[in-house]
Every structure is written in C-alpha cells, then in structure tokens.
C-alpha cells in the first residue's frame, strides 16, 4: 500500500515537470517541446454577473487592479446570458518555455499571478468574498507529502485557466 | 479538539487538532452531533484518491448545532439544528444557478489538481482530500461550514437527528441518481450496490413512481434490509443469474434506468475482478468499473445509466460499443445536495423517507477507528457507523 503513496507523489511531481516544459498548463501543448517561444495567451473567466454590474463600478476588482500595467484586461458580454467574460494577458514578454518553467516552479510566474487574480476577482464579484482554506490546518508535514504540499500551496495559481 | 484523522493508507486515529476558525464572513462553526462513514471514505482510506495527507480530518456527512456565525450569515443563528450538505457550494455562480451544485466554481480553494486531472475543477467537499479543497472533515467536535446560508439546512422539529443525518449525503445522492437518471412512473429500475447510497436511490426510484425496483449486491443482510425497509426486490449477484433475472422481471426489455452505486472498488468473483484488481495495483487503471460495466450491459436499448459510485481516473475495458449501439444515455455526478435537501427533509417529516435503519452502529468518536474497520470490512452487518463526538 505504501506503493500507492509513492505513485501519488510521482503523479504530482510528474504534473509539475510537465508544467515546467508546458507553461500552458499541462495539456496538449506538451508536444511543442520546451524550446519554442510562445506569446502570452489570454486567460479568461466568465463571471455570473451582468456586464452593467461589473462595468458600472468603473473600478477593476482589486485582485485585477493589483496586476497593474503588466497586463492587458478585456471585458466582453458572455454569449447566452452567461454574464461577463474577463480576459487578462501579459502585455509583453514572449518568454522561452524554459524561463517560464523556472519562474513557475519558483512561484514567480506572472501567469500564476493572473490565474489567482482572475479566480479571486470572479469570487468577489459573484459571492462578495474570496473563499479561504481552513486555518490553522490539521495537516502534518512529512517527507512523503512534501510534493503534494508544494502542489496544493499553488492551488489557486495553477491549473489550466 | 478531538478528531479522526487520516494517518496513511488504511490507518486512521483519533487525535487532537486545532479548533476550526471562522475564515470568511459567510462561515458558520457547527458543533457536530452526529457524523457518519460513507463509501466514499473507503476510497480515501485505501489510498485510491491519492491526495490525502497525514493529519487530514475525515468525514463529510453530518448534523450538528450552529455555535458561531459570520456577519454575512442571514439564514442561521446560534443554536440552529442543521444538517449540512457534504459539498461546499456558493449558490451564486452559473453552475449553482443551474442547480448543479457539486460543480460550483467557487467551492474549491485548490482547483489546480482536478482542473489538471479532469479538464475543469469540481466543487469542494468536507474531509475529501486536497483535490476537493482540503477542507477539514466532520469526524470532529467542531467544523467550519463555508457559505453557511447555502450549505446548512435547519432540520424541522419533527425530524430526529438519526433520520435527518442522512439528508447530508446518502439521501440526496440516491435521489439525484433516480432524478437525473430520468426515472418515470412505470419504469423498471435496477440499482447496483445495497449500501446506504444504493438503498436511497432505490427508495427515490419508488417515490418517483417506478413500478419495479431491483437492488443488486452480494451481501444478504443488506439485501434483506432493502426488502424490509424499502419494499423493493433484490438480486444476489453471487448466487443468482443477474442477466436472466433482469430480463425475466422486465418482460425481456431490460431495466429502463440502471443506477450504479458501487464505485471504483467494485467487487466480483470472476476473472474480471482479478484482471481489474491487478491493473489497479499496477496503476494501469486507477478504478475498477465492474458494476458500471454490468449496468451498461443490462440496460435496455435507449435506456439511461447513472453513475453515483465515485471514480477518480481511468478505467479499462469500458463497453463503449454497448453504450453507442444501444443508444444509451450515460450520466454521473457528485451529489447536487442543495437542490434536494429541503424536499428530502419534508419527506422525512412526513415519514415517506426513512433512514434510521442505515445507522447500524452508533458509537463515540473515540471508537471511530473500530467503526471504520467494521464499515470497511462489512463486519457485523455494518451499513453505516455513526459517531457522536459529544458522547
Ligand atoms: N455521487 C456522490 O455524490 C456520492 C455520494 C456518496 C457516495 N458516493 C459513492 O457511492 C458508492 C456507494 O457508497 P456507499 O456509501 O453506499 O458504499 P458501501 O461501501 O456501503 O456500499 C457499496 C456496496 O456495493 C456492493 N458491491 C460491490 N461490488 C458490487 C458489484 N459488482 N455489483 C453490485 N454491488 C456491488 C458492496 O457489497 C456494498 O454493499 C461509493 O463509490 C461512494 O463513493 C457517491
Ligand atoms: Zn459521501
Ligand atoms: Zn457556485
């Protein structure tokens, strides 16, 4: 049964390595190889609020405002009355995948900051708050769960968004 | 406070952990009165969902008393007796508005794992690993309940703790299987698994007007329970010919709706079991879909199959040919409890939905490791072990 834990750790580390060479989030882009330069892409969330509700305030939700000049931000009414789409991308900075991967592992990847800001902005607009994880945690740190802890610490900054 | 924590694969222990704290203005803190084992926990215990860490508190089906509310909580006050949905949902995102509550966009504080694994993240769940948010579970003296206005439901006075407890998870899960599986008056419905979830699905099918409901398992005590308490028919897949019986009982057509309430640790006595068991242990498939395969095979042409059993990853030898050529509808979901709990509590109050028989063993939280051992190994006819932290 210990094998199961090892398998989990391998899976998590595997996920991280895949991301290292695939800043897009570990999906099909894997095939492009690590050295291709890529243009910053749009990260988009749909918020279940009317365009008016969001734009009328004339002020960006705080997490997005916090990204400052480094990013471009777009709003668009979502099709089918789904609310409003918020899109963010880095203004400039074609980065090689290797640089992006290193930044990502060290937690200094601007795309991670964009993901977290978008998720938090959406939560603020939809629910009025950003949902926080439990604190203090009951989880203990052990040698076995270190990779998983690393992965979960980045929970809001990672994923495919 | 005292809590039952995961220590490693197949190891749980009662230990002291920090008390939960309010983290959001919409939170409540609930003193747990009753908290119960679920088949889903077995997948965590066995390490089949590899996102548990030492010290994580287990448990997601519970009832208790509100002891603290945040400034934004409107519907609850200190002293309310509440049953809490096992899934954590905001009630305001698009998915919640569609009543697909377990798909909530704002319930999982750690969306990266499931987003990477499944394409998109599901909602959060208490005590259900770091993949579903890492929220502490309910096998504890106290628990933090985020989005308390949405997730906690006041229990009507006439309904006992023993009955209302199952409105948290087992009853809404079973109801969802029958409802979203599309059970209609006059249908023949087959349910794989006679655990609490399968039994609740069978009861829901009856209440939705099914003419024949047939529950399939190998544990005679559970099948007898389904006959006695739910008045449904049963089949023992080890001693009876399931295919032949289902044909005979459905006029040769096959069941209209097949509900699978077994999940990824499905059992069988044939070579199929060893095939899946070995592949699972070698990580060549993560889940054993034996009952799911059977449900698809036996379902009538154009019928509907609903997966209530939990699956985590990949399965093998999946009968896509049968699914496609018979024109089946296949659905599955984690439970959208918020959609059903108020209605279920009313039915409980009217005596239409009875659940007490599921609680075969009740004990103090200190005895929870023994409770899990009994529940996992189905000893002494254990269907659900209920823990009382205050006892
Ligand atoms: N979708 C949801 O939101 C949700 C909620 C709760 C539980 N679940 C899942 O539902 C499943 C059942 O939960 P439970 O608490 O009733 O579990 P349980 O372990 O008490 O019951 C499972 C039953 O399935 C039977 N079984 C095993 N293999 C079988 C087979 N091949 N054919 C027929 N029966 C078979 C077992 O004998 C047992 O009685 C689990 O996978 C659990 O994770 C899902
Ligand atoms: Zn459950
Ligand atoms: Zn929601």
Q: Structural domain of residue A69, as residue ranges?
A: 2-153
**Are the folds of B2-169+335-388 and B173-332 the same?**
no
B8 contacts on A by Cβ (under 8 Å): 5
Query: Residue B73 and residue A101: Cα distance in Å, rounded?
Result: 42
Quick check: CB of B249 below 6 Å from ligand 1?
Answer: no
Which DSSP helix (H) or strand (E) runs through B63? strand B61-69
For the B173-332 domain, the top CATH level (class) is: alpha beta
Residues 6+ apart with CB under 8 A from B282: none
Residue pair B134/A133 in contact by the 8 Å Cβ criterion: yes
Quick check: CB of B250 below 6 Å from ligand 1?
Answer: no
Following DSSP, what letter does each residue of A48-104 receive, concatenated?
SS-HHHHHHT-S--HHHHTTGGGEEEEEEEPGGG--EEEEEEESS--EEHHHHHHHH
In a domain, A29, yes or no: yes
Q: Minimum-distance ligand to the CA of B181?
A: 1
Residue owning tokens 């519907």 = B75
| Ion ligand 3, residue ranges at CB < 5 A | B 89-90, 93, 96, 104, 106
**Which tokens belong to A10?**
């391998």
pTM: 0.93
Query: Residue B353 and residue B347: Cα distance in Å, rounded?
Result: 6
Atom from ligand 1 closest to the CA of residue B41: 43
Quick check: CB of B236 below 6 Å from ligand 1?
Answer: no
Query: Residue B265 and residue A32: Cα distance in Å, rounded?
Result: 37
In a domain, A161, yes or no: no
Query: Residue B227 and residue B357: Cα distance in Å, rounded?
Result: 12
Measuring CA to CA, which residue among B10, B41, B1, B81 is closest to residue B263?
B41
**Total domain count for chain A?**
1
Q: How many contiguous H segments (helices) and E segments (strands) does chain B have?
A: 14, 17
Following DSSP, what letter does each residue of B290-305 receive, concatenated?
HHHHHHHHHSPTT-EE
Residue pair B307/B293 in contact by the 8 Å Cβ criterion: no
Measuring CA to CA, which residue among A130, A55, A124, A128 is closest to residue A85?
A55
In a domain, A117, yes or no: yes
Domain boundaries, chain B: 2-169+335-388, 173-332
How far are the Cα atoms of A11, A83, A86, A116, A130 from residue A126, in angstroms, in the given order?
33, 10, 13, 15, 10
Query: Residue A112 and residue A110: Cα distance in Å, rounded?
Result: 5
Residue of chain A minimizing CA distance to B110? A155
CATH code reported for the domain at B2-169+335-388: 3.90.180.10
Q: What is the ipTM of this complex?
A: 0.94
Residue of chain B minimizing CA distance to A141? B54
Q: What is the pLDDT along chain B (391 residues), one digit of tens a residue?
A: 999 999 999 999 999 999 999 999 999 999 999 999 999 999 999 988 889 999 999 999 999 999 999 999 999 999 999 999 999 999 999 999 999 999 999 999 999 999 999 999 999 999 999 999 999 999 999 999 999 999 999 999 999 999 999 999 999 999 999 999 999 999 999 999 999 999 999 999 999 999 999 999 999 999 999 999 999 999 999 999 999 999 999 999 999 999 999 999 888 878 888 888 888 888 788 888 999 999 999 999 999 999 999 999 999 899 999 999 999 999 999 999 999 999 999 999 999 999 999 999 999 999 999 999 999 999 999 999 999 999 8
In a domain, A34, yes or no: yes
Q: In which region does residue A37 sit, left (phi positive, over 0), alpha (psi from -120 to 50) or beta (all else)?
A: beta
Phi, psi of B103 (to 5 degrees): -100, 10
Query: Residue B224 and residue B241: Cα distance in Å, rounded?
Result: 18
């Amino acid at each position: 049964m210990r094998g199961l834990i090892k398998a989990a750790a391998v899976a998590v580390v595997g996920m991280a390595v895949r991301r290292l060479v695939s800043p897009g989030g570990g999906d099909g882009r894997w095939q492009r190889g690590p050295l291709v330069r890529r243009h910053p892409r749009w990260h988009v969330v749909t918020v279940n609020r009317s365009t008016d509700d969001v734009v009328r305030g004339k002020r960006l939700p705080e997490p997005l405002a916090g990204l400052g000049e480094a990013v471009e931000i777009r709003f668009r009414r979502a099709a089918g009355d789904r609310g409003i789409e918020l899109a963010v991308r880095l203004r400039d900075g074609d980065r090689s995948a290797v640089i992006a991967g290193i930044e990502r592992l060290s937690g200094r990847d601007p795309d991670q900051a964009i993901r977290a800001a978008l998720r938090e902005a959406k939560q603020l607009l939809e629910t009025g708050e950003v949902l926080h994880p439990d604190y203090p945690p009951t989880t203990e740190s052990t040698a076995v769960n270190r990779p998983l802890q690393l992965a979960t610490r980045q929970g809001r900054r990672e994923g495919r968004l | 406070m005292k809590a039952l924590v995961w220590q490693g694969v197949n190891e749980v222990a009662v230990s002291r952990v920090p008390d939960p704290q309010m983290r959001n203005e919409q939170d409540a803190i609930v003193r747990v009165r009753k908290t119960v084992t679920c088949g889903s926990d077995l997948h965590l215990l066995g390490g089949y969902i590899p996102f548990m860490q030492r010290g994580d508190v287990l448990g997601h089906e519970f009832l208790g008393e509100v002891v603290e509310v945040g400034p934004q909580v409107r519907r609850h006050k200190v002293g309310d007796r509440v049953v809490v949905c096992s899934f954590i949902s905001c009630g305001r995102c698009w998915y919640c508005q569609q009543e697909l509550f377990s798909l909530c966009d704002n319930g999982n504080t750690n969306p990266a794992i499931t987003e990477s694994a499944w394409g998109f993240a599901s909602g959060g769940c208490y005590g259900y690993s770091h993949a579903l948010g890492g929220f502490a579970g309910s096998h504890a003296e106290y628990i933090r309940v985020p989005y308390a206005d949405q997730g906690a439901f006041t229990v009507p006075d006439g309904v006992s703790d023993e009955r209302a407890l199952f409105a948290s998870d087992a009853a809404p899960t079973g109801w969802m299987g029958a409802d979203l599986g599309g059970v209609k008056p006059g249908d023949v419905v087959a349910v794989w698994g006679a655990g609490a979830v399968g039994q609740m699905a069978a009861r829901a099918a009856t209440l939705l007007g099914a003419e024949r409901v047939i529950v399939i398992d190998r544990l005679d005590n559970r099948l007898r329970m389904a006959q006695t308490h739910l008045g449904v028919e049963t089949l023992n897949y080890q001693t009876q010919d399931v295919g032949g019986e289902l044909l005979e009982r459905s006029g040769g057509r096959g069941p209209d709706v097949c509900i699978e309430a077994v999940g990824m640790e499905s059992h069988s006595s044939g070579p199929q079991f060893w095939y899946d068991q070995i592949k699972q242990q070698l990580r060549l498939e993560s889940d054993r879909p034996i009952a799911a395969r059977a449900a698809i095979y036996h379902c009538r042409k154009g019928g509907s199959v609903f997966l209530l059993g939990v699956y985590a990853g990949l399965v093998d030898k999946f009968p896509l040919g049968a699914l496609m050529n018979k024109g089946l509808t296949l659905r599955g979901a984690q439970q959208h409890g918020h959609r059903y709990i108020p209605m279920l509590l009313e039915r409980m109050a009217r005596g239409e939905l009875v659940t007490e028989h599921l609680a075969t063993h009740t004990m103090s939280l200190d005895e929870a490791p023994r409770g899990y051992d009994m529940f996992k190994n189905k000893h002494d006819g254990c269907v659900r072990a209920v823990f009382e932290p205050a006892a």
